[in-house]
Amino acid sequence: MVTLQGKSVAFLVAPEGTEQVELTAPWQAVQEAGGTPCLVSTRSGSIQAFNHLDRGDTFKVDAVVADVSVGDFDALVLPGGVANPDALRTDADAVAFTKSFFAAGKPVAAICHAPWTLIEADVVRGRNLTSWPSLRTDLLNAGAHWADEQVRVCTDGPNILVSSRKPDDLPAFNDTLVTVFATA
């Protein structure tokens, strides 16, 4: 059995716009594997998740991105939702935090629209990724190798990047990120 016992995983989200299931399903997978998830956002308080275009639940923020560092975590998850990565990519602290995982060689997992944050962090060039189909051109223009696959695992460079397309792919995404995070 794969275990994340003793591993801390940051879930980076904006205050509003995270696709709820893309936060809660990987969060649960990390917990079930014995890891400790931490909700990191650009401001304190709580975040508003969405079920596509409808408001979902709110979730308490554990830490503000400006107050944490890559050294506090073993891995990073970037949930999607259109508004979430769109807001994160305009926040200098969120972009720097994301980029720091690549500089430290730590694993990162991104689903749906989350690769927009990776593009802004300038970490996709030469990497194999998948995403929500509308990001294809953005990723190609940023130098990534894009494919329409359920899950892509990129081992180019010192860290591992797990990417996935959409909520329907969550079972495979969750299994893969837990396995990758456990072995990294």
Residues designated catalytic? 112-113
Residue at 170: amino acid letter: L
Residue 64 has which token pair? 């503000």
DSSP SS3 for 107: coil
Residue linked to tokens 């720097």: 96
DSSP annotation string for 140-169: HHTT-EE---SEEEE--SSS-EEEE-SGGG
Residue 178 has which token pair? 């837990």
Q: How far apart are the C-alpha atoms of 60 and 48, rounded to whole Å?
A: 9
Evaluate the CA torsion angle 34, 1, 127, 145 in order and state its sign.
negative
